[in-house]
Structure 1
Amino acid sequence: MVEAQFIDDPLIPRVDVQFSFNARADNGKMLVDAVKALPSRTWNPQDKVWSITGTGTKKHPNDVLECLGFFIDTELDDYWHPVAVPHGAGAYRVYPRFAGYEDVAADIGRGAAWSKAHQSFIVDATDLSDGKRLLVRGLITDVEDQIHDEAHHMLQHPFDDHDPDLIEDLAEVTSQGDQELLDEAAELFGHQREGFGGETHQLRPFQQASAYAVATTRKLVCHDMGAGKTCIALAAVDLMGTQRLLVVCPPIVATNWVAEINQWLSPVFAKTHPDQQPGQFKSAESGPWVRRVATGRKLPDLPEVGSLVVPSSLLQREDVRELIAEFDPDAMIFDEAHEYSTWESQRSIAARELARTLPVGRRFAVTGTPSDSHPGEMANPMAITGQLEARFGSYGNYMQRYTTVDHFGKHKPLKKNLPELAGILRELWVKKTKAELLPHLKGKAHDWRLFDVSTTEYRKAHVEVIDNIIEKVGGIDDTAKMSPGDMEEFADTFGMGVMSPMFRAAGRSKIEPALGVIETLMHQDDSSPLIIFAHHQDVINELHDTLLEETDYEIDVLDGATSADQRGTIVEDFQDGQIDVLIASIKAAGVGVTLTRSHRIVFVEHWWTPGINAQAMDRADRIGQEKLVEVTHMVAVGTFDEQVHNVLARKIDYVDTIDPDADMGESQTMESSINDIITGVIEAAVAKAKREVKKVKK
């Protein structure tokens, strides 16, 4: 017995059929095999029903069904051809209906990206229309004029008014700069607004030149990490007279963006809107001209002018999208744009939709690791800036030109066209290595990077430290009676050692972002190995295990457990270029070894004495080192790690910029600052002890 029932859905119509296992079609074939051969069908084991959703474009759906012995009362003419409905800015959902997945995908071309969540293709307007006519055979839509209008708008190239030779010259400026060129650019494009950079920050010549190039035509900022991509992007939006800037970034660097904005852009608004008040509640931490969205916090109130920083992980939240719409930004920066390299991912789609609410020219993408070897990974960052459609016509055209599809359906680079693509990309981005931008620098360059991390483990460690202090003092009664002098004496006696659980927890919280930093640096230059310094053994071990599991790098460890013979072998292998990443203990590897093969150091953890950290840096910065030693310091926001690092940063900044010959060891000021940090925790222990004593008395 064969049964067929039509399910009337204008977007995803289907015919549910049931038949016995040994039923045969009119041609004698097993009916189950004939159904499986249809373009689109699924089996529902619970109801024992086959759902037919696609029969192809060659024969009428009713004819296909009747050939199999399935008869329904409904004529399927109105359900045969694909239908397009709006999905977001510049994008549409295309439902194949009975035309079937494969035939519609072939008609759309390489721009077809399937969404399981919507059971449809998500397709840009430029892959549906050339601005005048629909490009997909038989496509039905109630918004044809809208599709044409959006396609026409996306295909416009807003950069033709600028002299390409001048922009090229600006993008090529490196270390020394060209004052006449900068003066010419300033005359044409204007100066930074009054207040930009505040009283202490000033752009280097190459950064100013890059900012002019980015403000005009080059919307991708792709210099190496540490070259100032953030300040270049902020300078570009300032040159455009931006009043409300939206920054979309990974959650772990949101605090860093707030700090950079307050250094560079907020002083502009301090001049124009000096009476603007800080936000309410937690948002007040960012100052009067910046608001930050964070997981687990109330959404901030919005400033009249200024900046809004939103984690990329929250872009799909409806309330966050509504907040952004209310903010009404007139410029957007998407940081770490390589995170949107997968075209069909929900995060990438959300980023494209958001970016397209602004005109092309006011959307910027920042990444230190652009992929010019796999074209597919560059498509979405260019779509975010609007350069993809303006330069290549559409995503489908771009993928057709620069990729091919293997027999597994995966996009692979079309190598013969990669040189052409490389030439075009050079016209779309500013991209230089740090060696090109800062070749004259020797010694050390420090990059202090703030990371927003989970503080759950850290808060537990804080409780543990307080309980340990109470125990060492002799219990809650003795702790509750501690005077300021007693607390100072305790701090002198036990020192930073009493804080160890908190610093260990802070170190562990940075392992995940450390992996991202390492990947970025290795992508920029895999010819130079990395030295990763940490202090706690469990942090060293977890870093090693994580890198071993998630990367293909040659990794080794130099710590207190390394024997003298092993130590010599590891150093020799490192200097011979056989090790990509060396994870080193600050104390164990901080003396007696030469690691000049590398000029790049990452401190995942620090020792709280500047001299110990300086000794560790000197493993690379010593005789035989011919390059600038680049030191990245990772700071976990919301931990005492942050406070200690602030103290260290002031000391290092003094030594490197004010008095290079100064002693990096302990100083009276340094010791006092560290004691203040310890005393703060002791005071928390005393406060807890007093509360406990009060409870007992009650």
Structure 2
Amino acid sequence: MPTASGGLALWAEDSELPPRLPGRRGRRPVAHPFASPGEALAERFGTQGAEVSRMTLLLPSYASAPEASPELVRDPLAAGPAPRGRLRLLPWTVPVLVVGSTLPELEGCRTGASLHYLTRLADLAGELVAHGQVLPSLVQDPDGPAARWRPARSGTYSARFAALRDAMPPVCRSEQVAPSEGRAPAEVLATTLDALVDAIARERLGGVELDGGGGAVSAWLGALTGEARFEADHAELGELADHLAGWHAGGPHESPVRTCFRLRSPDQGTPADDDWRLEFLLQATEDPSVLVSAEEVWRDHGSVLRRWVSEPEELLLADLGRASRLYPGLDEALREAHPAGIRLDVDGAYDFLTHSALLDQAGYGVLLPSWWGRTHELGLKLTAGGRGTSGVVAKEDGFGLDALVDYRWDLALGGERLTEAELSDLAAAKVPLVRVRGQWVQVDQKRLAAGLAFLKRAGSGQMTAGDVLAQAALHPDDTAHPMPVTGVSADGWLGDLLSGQVERHLEPIDPGPAFTATLRPYQRRGLAWLAFLDRLGLGACLADDMGLGKTVQLLALESLARRGPTLLICPMSLVGNWQREAARFAPGLSVHVHHGADRLTGADLVETAAEHDLVITTYALATRDAETLGEVGWDRVVLDEAQNIKNSASRQSRVIRALPARHRVALTGTPVENRLAELWSIMDFANPGVLGSVHTFRARFAVPVERDGDTDAAERLRRVTGPFVLRRLKTDPAIIGDLPEKFEMRQLCNLTAEQASLYQAVVDDMLRRIDESDGMERRGLVLATMSKLKQVCNHPAQFLGDGSPLAGRSGKLARLEEILEEVLADGDKALCFTQFAGFGGMLVPHLSARFDTEVLYLHGGTPKKQRDAMVERFQSADGPAVFMLSLKAGGTGLTLTGANHVIHLDRWWNPAVEDQATDRAFRIGQRRDVQVRKLTCIGTLEEKIDRMLEDKKALAQLVVGAGEHWLTELSTGRLRELLTLSGEAVGE
């Protein structure tokens, strides 16, 4: 933020302020409780000579603490619980790092609006110096005379000054300069811009010695490049000040009116010939709608503008003179007594267009033809088609991504192919601006020549369908071609894929009488989409939302046609579910389960698999028996919960992606859980090579999207994956209108005194040991502490592991008992999820005794037959009403619509995992509203995790942070802030 002296200072908070800044009387400033210490600022961002100081700021505050800045509100782990009470302005002292005119590198930090604003301000100061829009000045400070460089106060400067003044974030003027007020925006801006201009000018004049021959003038000139303060005779200083005042009066001056330039092309109606015209205008900076042509200024003396400036004619001439330094083409107009504009040929018009940015940066108004800057640039267009893209009624040789298709490259304008005659005209043009099909376009002759040479060399031929799709994903600046690829089109099935609308164009199909289920309309469309890609031999990723029936759509596909066996790989917890669903909906399919210690091996497995329609196995066994499974002639390989291969470098992922098959299908409700690399792994299974190598994918998509938020890269990724990914959400009424509501609520729980004591002991122990550790040891210690604190929040007995009684010792357990009491009293059923299998094991006997009812428990060690029996019993009308599940074992694949209550006992780091668990109940077949409760201990790390999870849900679907590992990199002081208990954590 700016300081009163005009420098820049960094501090660790930011917040919104109302238009006026009256402070609250009667309160002395106190230290900001969340500001980073000055030493930490200096260590993290310190530049050579940076000064650590303190400032008093007027900030919107509660009685106990200042309000968190808007940027930190998005990060609840940093913001913490919101204080109670009403907001008002209060003074706070904060440590600051005074950095002068140079902003340090701030990588890895969340920057506030004020820093972005100051960056714009620093850029303006640099432009003013670079363009000579500065004046040397003499100022009389209380400590003596000083030489300063100041911005030239011209009309062009006024427009940018006004825009920056109006855009100033309130925090930039929060420095308390009087007991009851802050500073006005114009004052802050003028002081800061003056200081920045002076510092930048001195930096660029470093080493230059100015000499005026002695006396006050010589001392003043030396002070313009050296130490600003100087000593001189008082009388000589007065004479120097008078000369400078007269000189400044004849130079640039601040004005509420600025000069504008408007370029009109011949096709805009005036003039009637082929000439361009550059018109001059005057514009009121405070009311941009007031725009007066120079002709009107000379005709009626600019009467409309006289409310802002007394002599608009003189201002126009002065501005034109200064603008001619940036665009010498204006010299011709200055030879006229009443300049109103100039005529230009095409060369002159292009020359002005290339200079327009300089004029705009200098603060002049620049109005250009609407076509300038549009994306209708000259580029390459790829058209593919021919035998390899014709009908798709039946699978034939030549279909699929490896199919060879005919292609043709053309030069195109805005995606429209140019004719031979138009190309000849472009090549013959001697000027960079050419009119093509009624549009003026800029032509780079070197690039055009390279493009024409490319067409002669490789203008047509054959390429694979996969290569055609890959062209659609190229960045416009990709170096693979001499010009940007502005369009890719094809006919037949390849054109349907490129359109990204395959599913909408397909007619729903019926799987036939062998399939006993009745498909919903969207499921029939999904089946048609799967069958379409199947006929082409192209892999598919069915990424329907959890609960929309991916299983039934796949079984319907299996019922359509049988060319050979299908291998279905799923988590162990879902093997029984697939068996039951296949027997129920596709009884004609012969199913073999490859599982258990007595499973078939070697030739017996190969022979048996070939005799069945569907072979079901687990990810672990598919990896272990991959060599034998690879000998089977699989027609199709299907991955259920395909996110199990999201780590492309793992052995499991590499082995499963290598299994041979004619057709591949990935089923997953969460194609991207944490990083885009997970999507690459799934897509590389479905259609190997379609996204290139993992390194190419990372450079082309993952880094631009995840790190830089590049929406263009995200769009290109959707374009290339769109043909193979079908994603529908159950929250869309057009997909499913009869699904009941889901109500999510956070249940806040207090800690008992015992829990609070244990919690604080864990935090103290970590903070003591962390100073003695670093690297992997430190990171491991932080992660272990996170786990211990979660256990303390659950129950002291879980943390202590001493087998002690549970009753009356945990606020969270007390709340769970209250919820279950209501659930049982209403005759409902509940699912209880915990990430700690041991905690679930402790709760089951306690809850069974407490409510005199059976409590089912499913965890990773539950045998397959037993878990299948549990699910069946729970789903029955008279089955047990409470089902305890470990999150990993029971969070995916199961259908547990018998429950209409879901309770998350502790919070997972990834909201997608929690949503998967919730959707065991909230899915097709559920007839009642589902209530989801997430138990959270107030004032602890759990509450901060809860807020972080809500934040992650709001992030763009393709940009999701990764787990808790970022916590391990926090400073010890920051960890202390995050983990320390608040006063409201302990119950009465």
Q: TM-score range by the shorter chain?
A: 0.3 to 0.5
Instruction: Provide TM-score, normalisation by structure 1.
Output: 0.39
Query: Which protein has greater RCO, CA pairs closer than 8 Å, 6+ apart?
Result: 1
Larger Rg: 2
